A and B are shown apart, each in its own frame.
Chain A
Amino acid sequence: MNIIVVGCGKIGSSVAGQLSNENHNITVVDIRRSAVEAASSKYDVIGVVGNGGSSEVMKEAGVETADLLLAMTGNDELNLLSCLLGRTMGKCKTIARIKNPSYESELDVLKEQLGLAMIVNSEHMAAEEVARLVRFPMATRIDTFNKGRVELLKYRIGPNSRLSNMRISDLKRKYNVDVLVCAVERGSGENCKVTIPDGDFVLQEKDLISFATTPQRASQLVKVFGQHKGRSRSCMIVGGGDIGYYLAKQLLAMGISVTLVEKDEERCEELCQLLNGAMIIHGDAIDDSILEEEGLADMDAFVALTNMDETNILLSLFASKRSNAKRITKVHSLPIDSLIEQLDLDSIICPKSIVADNISQYVRAMENSWGSNVETMYHLIGDEVEALEFIIKGNCPLVGKRLMDLKLKKGLVIACISHGKKVLIPNGQSTFSVGDSVIVVTTRKGLNDISDILA
């Protein structure tokens, strides 16, 4: 597919890189020559230097033959203008990044009037992900499928957990729980090994396991594992930017008490008016006495969202010493490589990869009519493991077959089958019927159709 990405900042280039790796032809447009050069030497993409809101530049970028235009600059108005050009000059679908919260109520009108295929708000998406983790603090990561009916949880096996030294096939026998472990990460940093385990796999302490479940059953399961923390009642947020604002709003709506620390006094006053019921603290979080003064030790969750990745990491490490809170750290600019993953950061969220995953999910769905039918897609562990959701169509060769009769490829597991509102953890007897949503976790790349899982 021919895709134009306008804006080569952190979000733009990470989207361009991911889509290029998925074999799309990418043209990047940015007014900064250095940004274009950086992106085109890092990824296999072609660059055009110029203003994405000018028709001449967009013509040079090939808007007339493009299938999709992604406007990812930090400027909402420019993004909308680019998308408008894309609509009028070519026949491409358009996705705009809009981040200003004051346009929130206009989004539907904009989408309709400008014919946008999708509006992405990286800050809002990130806040949603954080909110999920705050609500369910045992997980280090939660991805949702099938309109939130199914969640894929990542969970670290703690020191007292019953799961350590447990064979996977014994789990059901001993505790009568229906859980299918889809992926196990063992070791940290460069020694990290990802396995799609079979029944004989023995879990160990500190393993990171991923499993599919429903939101209702999740906390029950973790109780069985012997590490229940209960839901969070209080949360401390450092950094009152857009993500902080969205997050505080969502947490307040869930009835969680919010303490928000922000450095800028003006912004504090603004937040006071926007967020009714939150405790807004003006101060620099790096000054440790503030956090302790505001009761860090008793917090159930601690979220570091400042604009500096380094500050976030330090704050999170500091919080781990002073409290037992669930910690979530935003890392945006630094590459999340083995080094950062070795640090004891609990959960990391990265807005640019959230956006990249969302867009590449849309792109795969767009290819639907051309053969692919992935509904939802997440990268679970770096680039190594993907979780994909498929809907079973009428002509699917799997319909009516039992799972035990199918010969599947290696390196993949069917994590969950949802039939209407019923969510099943599959076993050998499970069958597929038309309309089911199936979640596949795999180390293989480029599965485009559910029938690709057959060997």
Chain B
Amino acid sequence: MNRKAIFYMLGLVLLLEAALMAFPLFVALGYREFPTVYAFLKTIIFCGALGGLMAFFSKTSTKFFAKEGFVIVALCWIGISLIGAIPFVLTGAIPNYVDALFETVSGFTTTGSSILTDVEALSHGLLFWRSFTHWIGGMGVLVFMLAILPKNKAYNMHLMRAESPGPQVDKLVPRVRTTAEILYGIYLAMTILLICILIMLKMPVFDAFCISFGTAGTGGFGVLNTSVGSYTAVQQVVIGFFMAAFGVNFNLYYFMLIGQWKNALRSQELHLYVGIIAVSTALITINIRFMYPGWAGALKDAFVQVSSIITTTGFSSTNFDLWPTLSRTILVLLMFCGACASSTGGGLKVSRILIGVKMVHSEVRAFIHPKSVRAIRVDGKPVSPDVRRSTSIYFIVYMIIFVFSMLVVTLDDFGLVTSFTAVAAAFNNIGPGLGVCGPIGNFSSFSILSKLVLIFDMLAGRLEIFPMLVLFAPVTWKR
């Protein structure tokens, strides 16, 4: 274990965070919210000094391998969350540090679960920071660092693999750095496009920025207590479309950019993803029709909600906790499904489900033709045994962590629905669940222990479990 390399990367990430905190600082300055300005100023100085010292004193060796990659990613995410929570405490907006940490982790992991009862009471600077953490966390902090750092060595692929979601992370172009640049370029362009559209649709500029960050990172923090429910129907539909768009595999956008439309549109994962959205929307629309004066309203809410949940964003346009059981069940199932691989969304990922279903199919065939040699293909390409194995392992580990988290959370005695959906919402990085933690509720009433478990779940969900497991496994640290 190359501890120096780990410290060095951690130091660099903290320096980067200090730089990124300048944005909310300027926002707070613009709104003349001086307590918030001071809180950010202090945090930036502390974070910058800490990061600078760590990077400076461990500069010697930056050569590292896969295990260091996992540990670096896990530690960096914990590190930026620990420090990102400080402004909330310093301003007194969230006096309890664990609560502030919950809010920040929820931000960086693009979950969007909140412990705040009154969001509108926060200063603009803090609201901006909350939403901005979504944007940073969406595509990944270390991927961002790979994109802006000068000349990198090959081992950085380990960082990208550990941080990017999906069963198989590949480069788009030969260089890691160029790949990271392309991904962030697409991400930035789509975010700016959304901001412009929302401003043109007459959304307040501040809201347009924050909502766009929440949509792009598929996070789900809003700036109003009603989430996106108070915006016009057109604005909601635009947000709905963009949520769905940010849940698409970003590699497909790259193929479109270089003119390989056929390759992009032929993706089986995309077909399944669009299919799930269409079918779920249709079912829910029919199911909730009786609650609305016309089809249009029902269709709008159904679409926005399906898109919000499957991409694991977690905006709510209405209180879906009041919907009939079928609709609520579909939403809970979508929570597990999640978005496409290599998108900003969370959950199990459509591609894993696709591979999983195909594996089941081929196993069943093996009962009928025991000697048949089986290959599983996605997009016409065989899925390597490694990917198949890691997919099945992922399902198992996912279940184990889910069950144990739920056991701890049930200690709070909020009932089965709340406990189940609270863990599902945190682990899949969605945000609101049902019941106490539903769209109009929040997580403030959970015990400290539950909050800590949910914090772990959020990080594990965003980093796809293994970095967190590697970090806490004793074998990693054995000399």
Binding site for B on A (CB under 8 A): 2, 20, 23, 25-27, 33, 40-46
Contact = CB atoms under 8 A, between A and B. Distances in A.
A44 B173 contact: no
B407 interface: no
Given A33-B384, A44-B152, A20 B157 contact: no
Contacts of B157: 40-41, 44
B154 A25 contact: no
Nearest to A26: B174
A33 B385 CA distance: 12
Contacts of A26: 174
A27 B154 contact: no
Given A20-B154, A41-B157, A46 B174 contact: yes
7 contacts: A2-B174, A40-B157, A40-B171, A41-B154, A44-B152, A44-B157, A45-B154
A45 B175 CA distance: 6
B152 A25 contact: no
Contact of B176 (A2, A23, A33, A44): A44
B266 interface: no
Contacts of A25: 173-175, 178
A43 B171 contact: no
A42 B154 contact: yes
Contacts of A43: 154
Interface string B164-197: 0000001101111010000000000000000000
Given A44-B174, A46-B171, 9 more contacts: A20-B154, A25-B174, A25-B175, A40-B171, A41-B154, A43-B154, A45-B174, A46-B173, A46-B174
B173 to A, nearest CB: 7
B377 interface: no
Nearest to B152: A44
Most buried by A among B151, B154, B173: B154
Contacts of A45: 154, 174
A42 B156 CA distance: 10
A42 B63 CA distance: 11
A20 B171 CA distance: 15
Contacts of B173: 25, 46
A46 to B, nearest CB: 4
B156 to A, nearest CB: 8
Contacts of B170: 46
A44 B175 contact: yes
A416 to B, nearest CB: 31
Nearest to A45: B174
A44 B176 CA distance: 7
B174 A20 contact: yes
Interface in B368-399: 384
A27 B174 contact: yes
The B interface, classified by DSSP as helix, strand, loop or mixed, is loop
Contacts of A23: 151
B153 interface: yes
B115 to A, nearest CB: 41
A54 to B, nearest CB: 15
Contacts of A27: 174
Query: Which 7 pairs, one residue from A and one from B, show the smallest C-beta to C-beta distance?
Result: A44-B154, A25-B174, A46-B174, A43-B154, A46-B171, A26-B174, A45-B174
B19 to A, nearest CB: 25
Contacts of B384: 33
Contacts of A44: 152-154, 156-157, 174-176
B336 to A, nearest CB: 31
Nearest to B381: A49
A26 B151 CA distance: 15
A43 B158 CA distance: 11
A40 B174 CA distance: 9
B28 to A, nearest CB: 40
A238 to B, nearest CB: 36
Contacts of B156: 44
A27 B171 CA distance: 11
Contacts of B174: 2, 20, 25-27, 44-46
A2 B174 CA distance: 9
A44 B151 CA distance: 11
A285 B156 CA distance: 45
Nearest to A16: B174
Contacts of A20: 154, 174
Nearest to B176: A44
Nearest to A39: B154
Nearest to B161: A41
Most buried by B among A20, A25, A41, A42: A41
Most buried by B among A20, A40, A42, A46: A46
Contacts of B153: 44
Contacts of A40: 157, 171
A2 B178 CA distance: 13
Contacts of A42: 154
Contacts of A46: 170-171, 173-174
Interface string B127-160: 0000000000000000000000001111011000
Contacts of B152: 44
B143 to A, nearest CB: 15
A33 B168 CA distance: 15
A44 to B, nearest CB: 4
Contacts of A33: 384
A32 to B, nearest CB: 13
A139 to B, nearest CB: 33
A41 B65 CA distance: 9
A26 B178 CA distance: 12
A89 B157 CA distance: 30
Nearest to B384: A33
Nearest to A44: B154
B154 to A, nearest CB: 4
A44 B173 CA distance: 10
Most buried by A among B153, B156, B175, B176: B175
Nearest to B172: A46
A209 to B, nearest CB: 29
A300 to B, nearest CB: 43
Most buried by A among B152, B157, B178: B157
A363 B176 CA distance: 22
Contacts of B151: 23
A45 B173 CA distance: 8
A253 B69 CA distance: 55
A178 to B, nearest CB: 40
B151 to A, nearest CB: 8
B259 to A, nearest CB: 12
A42 B384 CA distance: 20
A40 B156 CA distance: 12
A23 B171 CA distance: 16
A77 to B, nearest CB: 27
Nearest to B66: A41
Most buried by B among A27, A43, A44: A44
A25 B171 CA distance: 12
A437 to B, nearest CB: 30
B6 to A, nearest CB: 19
Nearest to B170: A46
A2 B154 CA distance: 17
Most buried by A among B157, B170, B173, B174: B174
Nearest to A23: B151
A41 B153 CA distance: 11
A13 to B, nearest CB: 12
A33 B151 CA distance: 28
A31 to B, nearest CB: 14
Nearest to B158: A41
A23 B153 CA distance: 10
A314 B153 CA distance: 35
A23 B154 CA distance: 11
A44 B159 CA distance: 13
A219 to B, nearest CB: 43
Interface in B41-59: none
A42 B176 CA distance: 12
